[in-house]
Structure formats: C-alpha cells, structure tokens
Amino acid sequence: MPSSLDSLSTQQLLAGIANDGYAIIKNFMPAASITSLADEITALQLSGEMRRAGTGKVLAPTDDSLRGDFTLWLEKTSVSISQQAYFAQMEIMRTSLNRDFYLGLFELESHFSLYPPGALYRKHLDQFQGQEQRQISCILYLNQDWQPEHGGQLRMYLDGIAHEPYRDIEPIGGTLVAFLSGRFFHEVLPATHERVSLTGWFSTRSDRVQ
C-alpha cells in the first residue's frame, strides 16, 4: 500500500487546481483499500450507524427532493487501516496544496456517504454564505464495477450558477475529485444502484457541523 501520492497524481492535482479550479485523479488509492472502505459503509448502514443527511449550516431536516444520502463523520481517533491510508494520502495532498497555493489549509473533515438507488443531491455550493473556511472539496468514489448507465454522476457547473457549461463525472471507484469549494456549484444525479463515497473538505479552521 503506497504511503504517498505518486508524482503524476500530485502533478495532476496541482495543475488541475491551478488551471481549472478542479482536478480528477484516477486510482487515487489501491483497489483493495477502496473495496475495504466500501465494505465499511455497507456494514455501518446495516448496523444503523449511517444517518440521514441534512442541509445548511445547522443541518436542517431535508426531504428526498433535496438530498437523499446517509452519512457518518470519520473520527481520526478511531480509524480502520483503510481509513488511516486515506488520511495519510490526504495529508500529503494538504501539504502539497499549501506549498503551491499558500491556502493555509489547517484540517480535513470527512464523512462516509451512501446514496440509495434514486437518491440525489440538488445543486449546491460547499461554502456556506459568509463562511469561507472550506477551501477545497474532495470526493473519493468507492463504487465497484460502476457503469455509465448506472447514473449517479457528479455534475459540476463550470460557470458559476449558470446551467451550462457543466461536466458530468462518473463515480468510478478509486477516482478522487478535488475542487475549489467556493467556486463550483454541483449536484449528485440519481443512480439505479447504491452509490458510496468518502467526502471531505480542507478548511482553514474547523467548519464542522454536528
């Protein structure tokens, strides 16, 4: 299991953020780690530990028409081997971003995310109004054998809140998407299969909502 991002992945990350404001990195972690993380989500959902997600700074109750995923925050004080590998990779990513862009990224907050078939997340921005702590959003997809016809793409709007142009990104296991939190509105399209990921934000200071 690699303990650091390879040079090509680092180059893709930094070049993508510098040129486009986002980067897509395939094979961010080994297949065995991706499978292990996906299995953790399945077990947590079966045990009832995954909770319906809310919206907004205070996580107001929502309904399926706005957001239909289940989440569980990761705690660095009690993590599995695969979670440790994830946090190690993300720490190298944080230091690389700080070195090249002087962002002052202080911490990473992450949660598991599970979308049942048909669930979605309407267009939104990861930075809350008047709160600019979140700087870089990251999504690591954990889906096995994902096919385009399954749906569930991440739709990123490339010109502010305009409907076009946009880019649809397939949620293929092992792919990491990183983007500027305050720049890109995005949404999760519904899928025909259960969709799982590990979502996180690099922040300049704690921005976590319980």
Torsion angles phi and psi, residue 52, rounded to 5: -60, 130
Total number of residues shown for the chain? 210
CATH topology for the 7-54+66-198 domain: Jelly Rolls (2.60.120)
- Mean pLDDT over each residue of the chain, to the nearest integer: 91
* Sequence spans of domains, the chain: 7-54+66-198
Q: Rounded distance, CA 72 to CA 100, Å?
A: 31
Q: Rounded distance, CA 162 to CA 208, Å?
A: 28
Contacting residues for 2 by C-beta, under 8 A, at least 6 apart: 30, 89
What is the reported pTM?
A: 0.91
* pLDDT tier, 129 (very low <50, low <70, confident <90, very high otherwise): confident
* pLDDT tier, 35 (very low <50, low <70, confident <90, very high otherwise): very high
- Indicate whether 210 pLDDT > 90: no
